[in-house]
Structure 1
Amino acid sequence: MNLRQGITLGLVVAMLCGPVFAQSTATPTNDELQQRLLRIERILDNQVLLDLLQRIETLQLEVRQLRGEIESLEHERKSLSKRQRDLYLDTDRRLQALESGQGNDLDADAVPEDTAVSAAPGATPETDALARSTAVGVRSEPAPGEKDAYTQAYDVLMAGNNAAAIKAFTTFLSRFPTGPYSDNAWYWRGEANYVSRKFDDALASFNRVLNDFPDSPKVPDAKLKVAYTWYEQNQFDAARRELQSLVNAFPDSSAARLARKRLQAMAAQGQ
């Protein structure tokens, strides 16, 4: 029993028993007892109201504190999202600058046969239409609005809306089929399809990177995702060939390290 409950109980006992000690020979009437009970109820009701008011004030304070924390977390989330986007775009820009300063070390005819991957069977008409409208291997300076359109599509993907991201990158590639962001757009379009388990469209998109942009920094990652896509379709021989091709062509890349791990796992599983 806490202090408040003890005081309340003592008050009740005192009010009921006090007159007995003061007037030991007098017996309270029913009206007197009723009046005493009413007074006690009023006191108790007032105390309950005070307790409720205190609880309400405490809850209001906690709500204000939680709102402040939510606003702080939301601000932090937006800041982190912006920094992530800026970092990616900066990396993208640096890679494009490096690529534009490098010559093509390998003649197209000298690329090993297993480096190129055939077009994926079963690609949708939408993918085929994009393939017909895009000139192979063409690079250019960004057109007006191109960077913003690419950033918007990428932000949709980072938000986890894969269906909308596929649509956004498809629209981007229709508008800017030969720009400097085309290889990345094809790659991320493939990634969105891969996560959505639309494997035919994923293969078609990754293969566009490999076949149309052989000098793109995205080539190792695209080859890795081609292998992963074959693996998801239980085409283990095709997956193994693509993984080995990646290791041979780009042995020091992070994609090659992942390819080696996947090859080891497949060997351990007898695949």
Structure 2
Amino acid sequence: MLSMIRAVSPVLSSLLLGASVLWPLQAHALFGDDEARKAIIDLRQKVDVNRQAADAAALEAREGQAVTRRSLLDLANQLEQLRAELARLRGQNEQLSREVSELQRLQKDVQTGLDERLRQVEPLRVTHDGVSFTSAPAEKRDFDAAMEVLRRSEFEAAAMAYTVFLRRYPVSGYAPSALYWLGNAQYAIRAYKESIDSHRMLATQFPNHLRAPEAMLAMANSQIELKDAKAARRTLEDLVKAYPESEAAAASRERLARLR
């Protein structure tokens, strides 16, 4: 037994020696794997953390881009709304401009019409036959119309026009002239008595009018046509006495010389 143990001992010793040699290597290998595994785990954790951070950053970037896109879209919508509002305001401004132009045109037309109506009724300051007076536009128009008829040598129509004028405007500043031309128109149609009445009315009612001497001379002419020489001489003598410096007085003196 002892011999067997002794015989085995060297072998066992060798085996034990080999195991003692291999043990540190196996332990070192075992501990190296743990550290490597831990390092890998740490690395994986760091990678995971970095990936998560990257994912979070990417998500934040995407969200930021989405916010930016929404903001840009909102700005675009607001800009479009502003453009639409501007177009609407421009349209309103153009409409208002047209309405203002139309109102201005209407106001101008109204003012023109008002001015025209005022001109038709507003008194005018006129001077006729050396006399200044106020005349209504219609009054002046009617007198001018009667004068135009007389200028066409339409004596009967002119006599009617002056008669109507004097009836319509009895206190007109044109009355003395109207009486004078009425008498002349009546003389032209051989209405001598009527002519004498018209000219006498002028000389009696308006003795200071410049047509008064001429009216008296015309009266004498009508009286001569009626073969009333006595009345004609009296009229001519009155004319020379009342208006000695007038041209009508000079003509009257010649007539008186012939009548005698």
- TM-score normalized by structure 2? 0.49
More helix by share: 2
Greater Cα radius of gyration, structure 1 or 2: 2
Higher-RCO chain (CA-CA 8 Å, sequence separation at least 6):
1
